[in-house]
């Protein structure tokens, strides 16, 4: 399994980049969001990768962040959503926005992506909501997480509880996200809470 590639950026196009590592160029299909974060040709870059294998198709996908890769994996797990549709969606929305749309059940927003119809958009929300529910994210947040994040354990609607759900869509555990959320101002919007939590997590990991 190729977890990531790091090396010289030799090709940078819309939806595609090549990273040269040890004399081998790894062509990665990707989102416009990731391409926009890459530097100039010749700069050293790193992409988190996913090797997609189906019958006679073998494709390597690369993303600038683990959060975007996590969203990509979630999307291609949905019935009828392939890697092309997944990267198109992630070209239109950031990982934070994607997580918020799923957590809030806003399927209509996904139809703004070319090629994503109403039925597919509804399926994305329904199937990923089911996955969230199976991990006890939706409906009832654990009492420990609720205590850390200063939110009701009864599942009351609030920007903090929505932010916690969205962060868990991105692959974080309650134990990772709730303590940080609990230190933030609950008056912030859901999106602001998500962004600030991700920033603090990144800063913590860099220490």
- Give the pLDDT confidence of 177-200 residue by residue, as tens digits: 888 888 888 888 888 888 888 888
User: For residue range 93-103, what is the model confidence (pLDDT) as tens digits?
Assistant: 998 889 888 88
Residue 131 has pLDDT above 80, yes or no: no
Q: Mention every residue, 6+ apart, whose C-beta is less than 8 A from residue 1.
A: 51
d(CA 8, CA 163) in angstroms, rounded, equals 36
Identify the CA nearest to 163 among candidates 104, 106, 107: 104
User: For residue range 42-85, what is the model confidence (pLDDT) as tens digits?
Assistant: 999 999 999 999 888 899 999 999 989 999 999 999 999 999 99
Angle at 67 between CA 61 and CA 68, to 5 degrees: 35
Residue 162 has pLDDT above 90, yes or no: no
Query: What's the gap between Cα 46 and its chain centre?
Result: 17
Residue 41 has pLDDT above 90, yes or no: yes
108: left (phi over 0), alpha (psi -120 to 50) or beta: alpha
Identify which has the larger pLDDT, 72 or 207: 72
Q: Which residue has the tokens 């040269």?
A: 20
- Give per-residue burial for 58-76: e unless 16+ CB within 10 Å, then b: eebbbbbbebbbbbbebbb
Q: How do 4-13 and 24-29 pair as beta strands? A: unpaired
Q: In the chain, count of helices (H) and strands (E)?
A: 9, 5
Query: What's the gap between Cα 67 and its chain centre?
Result: 4
């Amino acid at each position: 399994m190729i977890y990531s590639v790091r090396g010289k950026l030799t090709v940078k196009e819309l939806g595609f980049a090549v990273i040269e590592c040890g004399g081998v160029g790894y062509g990665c299909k990707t989102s416009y969001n990731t391409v926009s974060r890459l530097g100039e040709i010749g700069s050293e870059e790193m992409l988190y990768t996913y090797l997609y294998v189906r019958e006679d198709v073998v494709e390597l996908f690369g993303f600038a962040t683990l959060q975007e890769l996590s969203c990509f994996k979630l999307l291609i797990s949905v019935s009828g959503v392939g890697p092309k549709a997944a990267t198109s969606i992630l070209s239109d929305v950031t990982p934070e926005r994607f997580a918020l749309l799923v957590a809030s059940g806003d399927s209509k927003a996904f139809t703004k992506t070319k090629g994503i119809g109403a039925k597919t958009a509804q399926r994305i929300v329904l199937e990923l909501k089911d996955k969230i529910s199976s991990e006890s994210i939706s409906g009832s947040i654990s009492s420990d997480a609720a205590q850390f994040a200063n939110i009701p354990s009864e599942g009351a609607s609030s920007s903090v509880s929505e932010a916690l759900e969205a962060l868990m869509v991105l692959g974080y555990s309650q134990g990772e996200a709730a303590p940080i959320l609990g230190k933030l101002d609950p008056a912030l919007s859901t999106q602001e809470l998500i962004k600030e939590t991700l920033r603090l997590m990144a800063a913590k990991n860099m220490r």
